[in-house]
């Protein structure tokens, strides 16, 4: 049970991080907020419960309303309240190994919070973890505050008090000791507020074990343009991209030359609606690629129609423009009162907060909570994504990105470098790359290498001619082909200057794969290159192959694909139980298509007798236990398959897209298999996160191939 010690400690964020940390370890976790505690004027579902439901596949029990709880407390019927809480807990969380329970925040409106929290902890027999923030306390003052908190819950002799989590270390606070970033600190991660370094001394002084220490991270409170529009009740002049993150605020009250330097990516520009010069200048910046966060017009002044006409090109870039009636001073006060809590519908920010907080909770403690569990675990999607990034970090590989001037690729490279997922190498004009990065508000650190293709193409002509001498390649043709960055990146890979290659955000699959097939070829023991997708179902991760490369594989090739896919599953922590998919199960059907699957199964078993594989199986028999009992009762795979091998590209591609879109789930891939060195293809509609995970996959493959 997470018990907040004071107001504004961020217990919801800590709850999110705790749940994510459990999920990463493959734990069947649930969440319970026993009593709702809405903020003033807050309507709808209880915030923590709604966010957990939005951000995961967990179905937490509904909390009791605050009014219901207060009626029982005021009537001296707290035992009835606790009985109801235990009943709801038991009925709704029975299948979970661990339940994270979020306690009440002790506010002036909830003076009963401490007593009720202690009662709930005892009623549920819960281990207690205090959640606090340092505020302006010294380490000694924080130690004393924690001792007082312990005394309210039975003292240090209470064995159920197991530790504390210190949140918001270094957060800006106001004179009332409440986390209250000013305009600069709220929207700009370059703030100069104290970092509370002294709080680290708590590790030596604390009466409790410190289970987590979460630094303040200003970007995590950066709102979307829509959040600010809702807060200000603004009129939308141009909707644009209302999901744009606002990283800082600039009040445009000076002349244009003195303000241009503040027209940056993610900036909220605030100006009077009659300042046509500022409006036009901001729009010019947007049309020149600067990703301005939003334009907020004050005073209720509608821009002139001719000015709006002039700005249509900027509006088309996605620039949000909003109008409010208050003046600039009133607007600044309204921005100060902006609620920095996570909106329930902001899935991107929820995900960032979960991962950030989870990364600052003691891993050894989390592992100790689950060490005694004997349940056979499925690899959950959060655990799989976490495992990908951890494995990639450990691999520490250099990955070349031939499409180095492509904006999504640049953003993904920055993320991979910052998180240590890989050491990206961008191919492209350095000036163009830096300009595009700046326009997106992306910082390319020292770990991102940039090579100008024109300057390095010459050194690969001779090695390329040597590799392709059997095909009669000449220097002239080699020079011409090396003008293609995918060919250039492939030669860097062939020469072991990089460890893997990722392309496809612009290039077709054929353009991405052809050069590696010519210059790197397949791995020893393999006759073809195939692909898999990792399908992140709500409670487990499945492998689908081949859904991207081979149109109509033979039985021998299908056996190759099955073996490659099983090996890939093992490499990524998934126990392979391989189902060879067909339109019939067992011996019930006939025809050339079924016979191909049957023969492929036989070949794969002969080549890899230790492999758990069966086929032909229909998809429902492979994945559903109740269907498997009737259609394939003796199959070692039916009902519990983790690797699905489709008979042809038509079936595989159609199935993966149908499952992905119908179930609204994430798929990662395609990941190519069978290449002598790792090369992976992207969808041309890939998002930045898709590219990041593909780079991670490639880095892991490179580490394993070594």
Peptide bond into 546 cis (omega under 30): yes
Which one, of 33, 338, 20, lies nearest residue 179 by Cα? 338
Q: What is the mean pLDDT of residues 297-313?
A: 91
Q: What is the mean pLDDT of residues 136-154?
A: 83
Give the count of beta carbons closer than 10 Å to the beta carbon of residue 140. Answer: 12
Give per-residue pLDDT as tens, 212-240: 999 988 888 889 999 999 999 999 999 99
How far apart, in whole angstroms, are the C-alpha atoms of residue 480 and residue 594? Answer: 46
Q: State residue 194's pLDDT score.
A: 43
Residues facing 29 on adjacent strands: 98
Instruction: Name the DSSP letter for residue 207.
Output: S
Which one, of 455, 448, 432, lies nearest residue 398 by Cα? 448
Are residues 135 and 173 in contact, defined by beta-carbon separation less than 8 angstroms? Answer: yes
Are residues 266 and 225 in contact, defined by beta-carbon separation less than 8 angstroms? Answer: no
How far apart, in whole angstroms, are the C-alpha atoms of residue 291 and residue 411? Answer: 13
Q: Would residue 420 be called left, alpha or beta, if left means φ above 0 and alpha means ψ between -120 and 50 degrees? A: left
Residue with tokens 């270390």: 169
| Alpha helices in 93-127, H assignment, sequence order | 113-124
Q: State residue 382's pLDDT score.
A: 64
All residues at 6 or more sequence positions from 617 whose CB lies less than 8 Å from its CB, including other chains: 579, 580, 581, 582, 585, 586, 632, 635, 637, 638, 641
Q: State residue 585's pLDDT score.
A: 87
Cα separation values, 373 from 98, 99, 369, 370, 377, Å: 10, 14, 9, 6, 9
Q: State residue 409's pLDDT score.
A: 96
Q: State residue 482's pLDDT score.
A: 94
Residue with tokens 């010690």: 5
Give the count of beta carbons closer than 10 Å to the beta carbon of residue 340. Answer: 14
The CATH number of the domain covering residues in 381-519:
3.40.50.10950
Which one, of 463, 586, 438, 480, lies nearest residue 519 by Cα? 463
All residues at 6 or more sequence positions from 394 whose CB lies less than 8 Å from its CB, including other chains: 703
Are residues 136 and 177 in contact, defined by beta-carbon separation less than 8 angstroms? Answer: yes
Cα separation values, 423 from 392, 394, 490, Å: 10, 12, 16
Residue with tokens 């011996």: 587
How far apart, in whole angstroms, are the C-alpha atoms of residue 149 and residue 160? Answer: 13
Of 215-219, 263-267, 661-665, least confident by mean pLDDT is: 661-665
Q: What is the average pLDDT value for the chain, to the nearest integer?
A: 87
Of 131-140, 190-199, 540-549, least confident by mean pLDDT is: 190-199
How far apart, in whole angstroms, are the C-alpha atoms of residue 61 and residue 163? Answer: 26
Q: State residue 333's pLDDT score.
A: 85
Are residues 311 and 216 in contact, defined by beta-carbon separation less than 8 angstroms? Answer: no
Give per-residue pLDDT as tens, 381-424: 766 777 788 899 999 999 999 999 999 999 999 999 998 999 99
Are residues 304 and 329 in contact, defined by beta-carbon separation less than 8 angstroms? Answer: no
Give per-residue pLDDT as tens, 155-186: 888 888 999 999 988 887 655 555 554 444 44
Do 530-674 and 225-336 have the same topology in CATH? Answer: no
Percent of the chain with pLDDT strictly greater than 90: 50
Residue 60: strand, helix, or coil: coil
Are residues 169 and 202 in contact, defined by beta-carbon separation less than 8 angstroms? Answer: no
Of 21-30, 69-78, 415-424, least confident by mean pLDDT is: 21-30
Q: State residue 184's pLDDT score.
A: 45
Are residues 646 and 512 in contact, defined by beta-carbon separation less than 8 angstroms? Answer: no
Of 161-170, 374-383, 524-533, 603-612, least confident by mean pLDDT is: 374-383
Instruction: Name the DSSP letter for residue 245.
Output: B
Percent of the chain with pLDDT strictly greater than 70: 92
Max distance between CA atoms of the chain, in angstroms, equals 93
Whether 193 has a pLDDT exceeding 80, the answer reads: no
Taking the alpha carbons of 690, 695, 700, 702 in that order, is the dihedral positive or negative? positive
Confidence of residue 98 (pLDDT cuts 50, 70, 90): very high
Rounded to the nearest 10 degrees, the angle between the axes of helix 11-24 and helix 381-395 is: 80
Residue with tokens 């395609």: 670
Domain positions in the chain are 2-217, 225-336, 381-519, 530-674
Residue 679: strand, helix, or coil: strand
Which one, of 245, 208, 211, lies nearest residue 225 by Cα? 245
Which two three-digit tokens encode residue 476? 């002239």
Instruction: Name the DSSP letter for residue 426.
Output: E
Whether 188 has a pLDDT exceeding 60, the answer reads: no
Whether 41 has a pLDDT exceeding 80, the answer reads: no
Give per-residue pLDDT as tens, 333-347: 888 778 778 888 888
Cα separation values, 311 from 225, 238, 273, 319, 439, Å: 19, 10, 14, 10, 19
What fold does the segment set 2-217 form as a domain?
A: Rossmann fold (3.40.50)
Are residues 665 and 537 in contact, defined by beta-carbon separation less than 8 angstroms? Answer: yes
How far apart, in whole angstroms, are the C-alpha atoms of residue 454 and residue 485? Answer: 10
Residues facing 44 on adjacent strands: none
Q: State residue 178's pLDDT score.
A: 53
More confident residue, 398 or 97: 398
Task: Tell me which H or E stretch contains 181.
Answer: none
Are residues 679 and 486 in contact, defined by beta-carbon separation less than 8 angstroms? Answer: no
Which one, of 264, 190, 690, 284, lies nearest residue 437 by Cα? 264
CATH architecture of 225-336: 3-Layer(aba) Sandwich (3.40)
How far apart, in whole angstroms, are the C-alpha atoms of residue 503 and residue 695? Answer: 10
| Alpha helices in 396-508, H assignment, sequence order | 407-419, 430-440, 453-456, 461-467, 475-481, 485-494
User: Any idea what the Cα angle at residue 454 is, between residues 451 and 460, rounded to 5°?
Assistant: 85
How far apart, in whole angstroms, are the C-alpha atoms of residue 514 and residue 598? Answer: 31
Residue 175: strand, helix, or coil: coil
How far apart, in whole angstroms, are the C-alpha atoms of residue 215 and residue 452? Answer: 38
Q: State residue 134's pLDDT score.
A: 85
Confidence of residue 706 (pLDDT cuts 50, 70, 90): low
Instruction: Name the DSSP letter for residue 171.
Output: -
Give per-residue pLDDT as tens, 234-263: 999 999 999 998 888 889 888 888 888 888
Beta strands 423-427; 161-169: pairing state: unpaired
Q: How many residues are present in the chain?
A: 706
Q: State residue 653's pLDDT score.
A: 92
Cα dihedral: 81, 82, 84, 87 (round 10)? 180
Which one, of 22, 355, 388, lies nearest residue 220 by Cα? 355
How far apart, in whole angstroms, are the C-alpha atoms of residue 322 and residue 101? Answer: 40
Q: State residue 374's pLDDT score.
A: 43
Q: State residue 189's pLDDT score.
A: 43
All residues at 6 or more sequence positions from 39 whose CB lies less than 8 Å from its CB, including other chains: 47, 339, 341
Is the CATH code 3.40.50.10750 the one for domain 530-674? Answer: yes
User: Any idea what the Cα angle at residue 441 is, between residues 437 and 442, rounded to 5°?
Assistant: 50
């Amino acid at each position: 049970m997470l018990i907040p010690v004071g107001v504004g400690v961020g217990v919801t964020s800590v709850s999110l991080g705790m749940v994510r940390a459990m999920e990463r370890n493959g734990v069947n976790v649930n969440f319970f907020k026993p009593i709702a505690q809405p903020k003033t004027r807050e309507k709808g579902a209880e915030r923590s419960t709604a966010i957990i439901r939005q951000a995961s596949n967990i179905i937490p029990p509904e909390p009791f309303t605050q009014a219901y709880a207060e009626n029982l407390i005021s009537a001296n019927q707290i035992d009835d309240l606790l009985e109801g809480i235990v009943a709801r807990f038991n009925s709704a969380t029975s299948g979970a190994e661990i339940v994270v329970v979020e306690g009440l925040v002790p506010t002036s409106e909830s003076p009963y919070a401490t007593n009720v929290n202690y009662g709930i902890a005892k009623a549920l027999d819960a281990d207690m973890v205090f959640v606090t923030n340092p505020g302006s306390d010294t380490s000694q003052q924080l130690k004393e505050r924690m001792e007082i908190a312990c005394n309210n819950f039975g003292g240090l002799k209470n064995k159920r008090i197991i530790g504390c989590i210190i949140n918001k270390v270094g957060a800006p606070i106001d004179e009332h000791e409440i986390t209250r970033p000013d305009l600069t600190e709220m929207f700009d991660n370059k703030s100069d507020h104290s970092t509370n370094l002294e709080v680290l001394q708590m590790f030596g002084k604390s009466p409790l074990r410190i289970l987590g220490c979460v630094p303040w991270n200003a970007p995590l409170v950066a709102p979307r343009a829509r959040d600010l529009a809702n807060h200000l009740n603004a009129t939308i002049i141009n909707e644009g991209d209302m999901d744009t993150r606002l990283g800082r605020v600039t009040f445009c009250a000076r002349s244009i030359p003195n303000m241009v330097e503040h027209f940056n990516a993610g900036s909220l520009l605030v100006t009077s609606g009659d300042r046509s010069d500022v409006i036009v200048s901001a729009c010019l910046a947007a049309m020149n690629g600067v990703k301005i966060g939003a334009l907020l017009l004050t005073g209720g002044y509608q821009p002139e129609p001719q000015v709006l006409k002039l700005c249509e090109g900027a509006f088309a870039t996605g620039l949000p423009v909003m109008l409010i009636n208050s003046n600039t001073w009133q607007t600044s006060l309204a921005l100060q009162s902006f609620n920095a809590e996570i909106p329930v519908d902001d899935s991107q920010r929820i995900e960032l907060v979960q991962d950030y907080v989870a990364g600052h909770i003691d891993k050894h403690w989390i592992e100790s909570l689950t060490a005694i569990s004997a349940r056979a675990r499925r690899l959950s999607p959060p655990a799989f994504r976490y495992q990908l990034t951890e494995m990639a970090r450990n691999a520490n590989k250099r990955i070349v990105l031939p499409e180095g001037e492509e904006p999504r690729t640049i953003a993904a490279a920055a993320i991979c470098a910052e998180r240590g997922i890989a050491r990206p190498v961008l191919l492209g004009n350095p000036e163009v790359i830096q300009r595009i990065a700046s326009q997106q508000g992306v910082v390319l650190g020292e770990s991102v290498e940039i090579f100008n293709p024109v300057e390095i193409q010459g050194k690969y002509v001779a090695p390329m001619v040597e590799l392709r001498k059997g095909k009669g390649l000449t220097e002239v043709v080699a020079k011409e082909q090396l003008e293609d960055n995918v060919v250039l990146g492939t030669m860097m890979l062939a020469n072991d200057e990089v460890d893997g290659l990722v392309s496809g955000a612009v290039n077709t699959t054929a353009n991405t794969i052809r050069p590696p097939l010519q210059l790197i070829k397949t791995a020893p023991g393999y006759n073809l290159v195939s692909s898999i997708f990792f399908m992140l179902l709500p409670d487990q991760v499945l492998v689908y192959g081949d859904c991207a490369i081979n149109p109509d594989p033979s039985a021998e090739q299908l056996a190759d694909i099955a073996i490659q896919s099983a090996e890939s599953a093992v490499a990524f922590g998934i126990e392979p139980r391989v189902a060879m998919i067909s339109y019939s199960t067992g011996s019930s059907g006939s025809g050339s298509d079924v016979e191909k699957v049957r023969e492929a199964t036989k070949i794969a078993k002969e080549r890899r007798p230790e492999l758990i594989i069966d086929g032909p199986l229909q998809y429902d028999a492979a994945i559903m236990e109740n269907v498997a009992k009737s259609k394939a009762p003796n199959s070692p795979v039916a009902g519990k398959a983790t690797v699905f091998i489709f008979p042809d590209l038509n079936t595989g591609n159609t199935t993966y897209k149908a499952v992905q879109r119908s179930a609204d789930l994430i798929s990662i891939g395609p990941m190519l298999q069978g290449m002598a060195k790792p090369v992976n293809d992207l969808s041309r509609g890939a998002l930045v996160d898709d590219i990041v995970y593909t780079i991670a996959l490639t880095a892991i493959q490179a580490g394993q191939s070594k």
